[in-house]
Amino acid sequence: TTQHHFIEMYTGLCIKLNDWVTERGLVDDDGAKVNFKRMLLNQCQGSFDSYLKPPAELDELEGDEHFEAKMKYKTKMLGNIKFVGQLLCNQVVSSKIIQRCCLELIHCATEETTETLCVFLSVVGPAFDKKDWKNYHVLADVFQTVKKMCSDTSVPARLRCLLKDVLDLRDAGWVCSRPTNAPEGPKTMGE
């Protein structure tokens, strides 16, 4: 998604759609029960996999067109991972995918995937970075890798700063003390 400020609303909509599909016991053309969560996970996984590599047509563009296309790609990639993170935090999809997402993003080691890793950890960290979570060791290992990346001079300075910001946020108990320029999400009719 390119509208990051609506991600919480989209997540709420997915929760309601899942409940609606489950309550009605919908079946597909083959008579099998429709599993909305599985469909949603498959769609998110497809988007995640497609965003791991920049679109091939980026190489054909130059100047402002290249910059604009790259920003659109990055915005969609970050929006997708924020959405997946929100789905995880709201238990719409299984937390087992946290490890796969983190490892894929670390393995790709591009500027875009490293920034995406920072965004993903910022979203899922507050909900899953708890010692009583059954897969806590997974996140602990990821944060060890992030710590190593912060001191790796082959990682661009901007990305090392983003990685350090995630570690600082974690050290602060996932409470952001700095003001943000992120747009506010949708308001209710009463607001």
Whose tokens are 């790259």? That residue is 70
Report the C-alpha gap between 127 and 142 in whole angstroms.
Answer: 15
- Torsion over CA: 126, 127, 133, 134 (sign): negative
Which pLDDT value is given to residue 95? 84
Report the C-alpha gap between 29 and 9 in whole angstroms.
Answer: 30
Which pLDDT value is given to residue 183? 52
Which pLDDT value is given to residue 191? 60
Predicted confidence pLDDT, tens digits, the chain (191 residues):
567 777 888 888 888 888 887 887 777 777 778 788 888 888 888 888 888 887 778 778 788 888 888 888 888 888 889 989 998 888 888 888 888 889 999 998 888 899 999 999 999 999 999 999 888 998 999 999 999 999 999 989 999 999 999 999 999 888 876 655 555 555 565 66
Element at 24 (helix H, strand E):
helix 7-24
Which pLDDT value is given to residue 12? 83
Which pLDDT value is given to residue 72? 87
Taking Cα atoms as reference points, which of 114, 121, 188 lies closest to residue 158?
Answer: 114
Report the C-alpha gap between 83 and 11 in whole angstroms.
Answer: 7
